[in-house]
Every structure is written in structure tokens, then in C-alpha cells.
Amino acid sequence: MMRLGSRGLAALLAAGVVVIALALWVSSRKPPQDAAGAGQLVLPALESSINGVTQVRISKGDGTRTTLEKRAADWIIGERGFPADSSRVRKLLLDLADLKVVEEKTSDPANYAELGVEDVTSPRSSGTLIDLIEPGQTASLIIGKPSGMQSSYVRVAKAKQSLLVTPQVIPDADPRHWLDDSVIDLPETRVEDVRVQPASGPAYTVMRNSPKQLDFTVPDLPKGRQLSSVTAANAVADALSSLTLDDVRKAGAGGTDPVHATFQTFDGLTVDVSGLKDGASRYITLSAKSSSKVTEGEAQKLNSRFGGWQIEVLGYRYDSLFQPLDGLLAKPAAVKTKTRGRRVKAKSGAEKAAS
């Protein structure tokens, strides 16, 4: 039989202590399975009535709010009158229907603020109120602070008991963040030419003769100037590729620096883009027409969705749409200047002494 020395015995005891401590820590991280309410749905009626929800209101104490209104085929943001990202609305509803209690937390209103589940009645309130409205009934839930990566604190409105729940829900009350942000995806591979009228400098055209031509050219360049590279004009042709919006507003709002670009594709689609600046924001408007059956539906869809709207886009996308011609050109070579008149020969030292 092998005997353990004092050092071996000490190491064995230490390892045992570590194993026990680790087991206790792991068990402490798991919610008690017999905790009151654990595993129960927070909004049990929502699971069966989710398709009956006609409006979702998301609001914060500082006045920020979003109203999502159900239409026949999609959702609309009431504060904008513009389509919402319906897949995101659907995910929110499914997550709320699936909310399960991990454990009950405080029922003392004095402690609500610590979890962010106090009533959303003042700018100091940190939680977010969600109202789920169906014909004849409304379910309201206050979403508080997140807990870890998978849980949140919540409280059913007007109930005293707060809860730790999963899955984690972090709602956003800013209407901009619920917009369906897709605008247009017109890659340069479809583009035949783009005619640009920038805010400064001359109007110009980037073009190519066939879809097989990889790089765009700019005819009638200023005398003595050339493109900075053979691919310099391609960025203009690709400016409507995967374009997304930041926000929208009704057309007619003022602005400065009107600019224009017209995109023509080989398959008969024409997209007119106008731009304007309003403070730090950049807006565009879109209109489309088609000379081909292939793109007729695409033009109609663009006009139906964006007619009457100003679309806010990121500054760098705006700049790529309305790039001044000079931004595509190589810097002009230094011009050597010649001294006019007779050259005066410098006097030598001996000549200076003799004079």
C-alpha cells in the first residue's frame, strides 16, 4: 500500500477544497428549481394571442416613445408613418411571449429603482414600459436592467412583485431604430452611367460602354487632368449599393446645398437622386422610372415606398453620391514658370571690386 507523505496529503486536501468550492460556486449560479414561480410564463396569455396584438407602445420616462401599429401585411411606426422592420417587431413579441421567471425579486417599491423596474413616470426612471394592445385588453410590462447576458429584471405594471426573467429583452423606445432601413441595392455591375451635379464644380458623367467593361470612365475631363486611378470613378457608380437609411421625414422640409445624381442601368432602370443638407443631417429623395418590363416592378416599388419622403443617410454615403469631379482626379502636375524679361548675369567678385 502506497503511503502519502505530508506534502502529498496536503496537496490532496487542497485539491479537495478547490473541488468543493467550485461545486458550491456552480450551484450558487443556478437558480433554485423550487423557487416560487420559477419556470412560469410572465405573460401566459400572450402565447396564444400573439397574432391578435394590434399595437405595441414602447415608452420611457424622458418622453421617448415608439408606437408600432399593425397593418394588413406589415407594421407601421406611428411617429413616422413609415414601415417598421416587421421581423424585429415579431421577434420582440415572441421574446415577450416566451419570458419565463428565473426567480422572484423585490416587492418593495423603495427597491424598484435598483432593478430599473420603477413606474415609468419621470425622466429619472431607467426602465422601459411596453404596452401590448389587443382588442378589448392591454398587457403592460416594465423592462428593467439587464442581468448578465441572458436575463433581465421586469415587473408587470401595477403588480408589486418584480422578477428576474429570461430571455433577455432590451427594448428601444427610439422610433428611428425600428424603421425598415433598407433603401436600395443597386450595385455597380448593373450601372451603365451616372450623371452627377455636385454642390461645387462642373457636372460630369461616369460611364462604360458595356457590362463587361470593369472600370468606369469620365469623358471630357478638364484639359491636362486625369483620373487619380483607373478605378476612381467606380465608387460613384456603386454609391447606391446596399444603401440604408438612418431616419425619414416628410418631403418639403427645408435644407441647403441641393445636389443631384441620375443612375441609368443597362436593364432600363433610371433612378433620380436629389440631396440636401440640414444642419449636420444629410437627406436624399428618390424617384424611379423604367423603360423595360424587366425593371418596371422595381421602379414602381421604389416610387411607392419613397415617394413623398426625405431619407436621412450617413454623411459618407451622401458624399459618395455627390462627389465633386475634383475628388476623382489626380492632383495637377506642378507648372514650371519661366522668368520673363532679360536675365541679369551676376557680377563676379572681381567685377564688383573694379566697379
Q: What's the domain count of the chain?
A: 2
Rounded CA separation 182/184 (Å)? 6
144 and 222 in a single domain? The answer is: no
355 pLDDT tier (thresholds 50, 70, 90) = very low
Q: Using alpha carbons, select from 239, 241, 251 the residue that is nearest to residue 182.
A: 241
**Residue 310 and residue 250 in contact, taking contact as beta carbons nearer than 8 Å:** yes
- The answer to whether residue 146 scores a pLDDT higher than 60 is yes
Average pLDDT over residues 313-337: 86
Domain that holds residue 276: 182-328
**Residue 260 and residue 276 in contact, taking contact as beta carbons nearer than 8 Å:** no
Q: Using alpha carbons, select from 245, 234, 233, 328 the residue that is nearest to residue 283.
A: 245
Structure pTM?
0.79
Match 489626380 to its residue by C-alpha cell: 330
pLDDT over 90, % of the chain:
79
State the DSSP H helix or E strand holding residue 335, giving kind and residue range, or none if neither.
none
Q: Using alpha carbons, select from 145, 207, 178 the residue that is nearest to residue 67.
A: 178
Instruction: Note the pLDDT tens digit of each residue in 290-322.
Output: 999 999 999 999 999 999 999 999 999 999 999
Average pLDDT, the chain: 88
172 and 186 in a single domain? The answer is: no
The pLDDT value recorded for residue 21 is 52
- Look at residue 84 and tell me if it is in a domain: yes
- What's 158's DSSP letter? T
**CA distances (Å), 134 to each of 46, 48, 57, 100, 172, in order?**
10, 12, 12, 21, 21
- Look at residue 151 and tell me if it is in a domain: yes
169 and 271 in a single domain? The answer is: no
Rounded CA separation 81/249 (Å)? 9
- Look at residue 28 and tell me if it is in a domain: no
- What's 293's DSSP letter? H
191 and 62 in a single domain? The answer is: no
239 pLDDT tier (thresholds 50, 70, 90) = very high
- The answer to whether residue 137 scores a pLDDT higher than 50 is yes
- Look at residue 354 and tell me if it is in a domain: no
Match 443556478 to its residue by C-alpha cell: 30
**CA distances (Å), 106 to each of 30, 87, 101, in order?**
19, 34, 13
98 and 221 in a single domain? The answer is: no
Instruction: Note the pLDDT tens digit of each residue in 164-191.
Output: 999 999 999 999 999 999 999 999 999 9
- Look at residue 280 and tell me if it is in a domain: yes
The pLDDT value recorded for residue 345 is 46
Rounded CA separation 125/276 (Å)? 38
- What's 109's DSSP letter? G
The pLDDT value recorded for residue 15 is 53
Strands 137-147 and 191-197 turn out to be: unpaired
- Look at residue 205 and tell me if it is in a domain: yes
145 and 261 in a single domain? The answer is: no
The pLDDT value recorded for residue 37 is 76
- The answer to whether residue 139 scores a pLDDT higher than 70 is yes
The pLDDT value recorded for residue 13 is 52
187 and 245 in a single domain? The answer is: yes
125 and 86 in a single domain? The answer is: yes
- The answer to whether residue 160 scores a pLDDT higher than 50 is yes
Range with the poorest average pLDDT among 169-183, 190-204, 245-259, 282-296:
245-259
Rounded CA separation 152/354 (Å)? 99
- Look at residue 10 and tell me if it is in a domain: no
Phi, psi of 50 (to 5 degrees): -60, -35
The pLDDT value recorded for residue 35 is 53
The pLDDT value recorded for residue 25 is 45
287 and 187 in a single domain? The answer is: yes
| Strands, E assignment, the chain | 55-59, 65-70, 75-77, 82-83, 100-104, 128-134, 137-147, 151-156, 162-166, 182-184, 191-197, 204-207, 243-244, 247-250, 256-265, 269-278, 281-290, 309-313
- Look at residue 14 and tell me if it is in a domain: no
Instruction: Note the pLDDT tens digit of each residue in 219-237.
Output: 999 999 999 999 999 999 9
Residue of higher predicted confidence among 15 and 101: 101
The pLDDT value recorded for residue 252 is 82
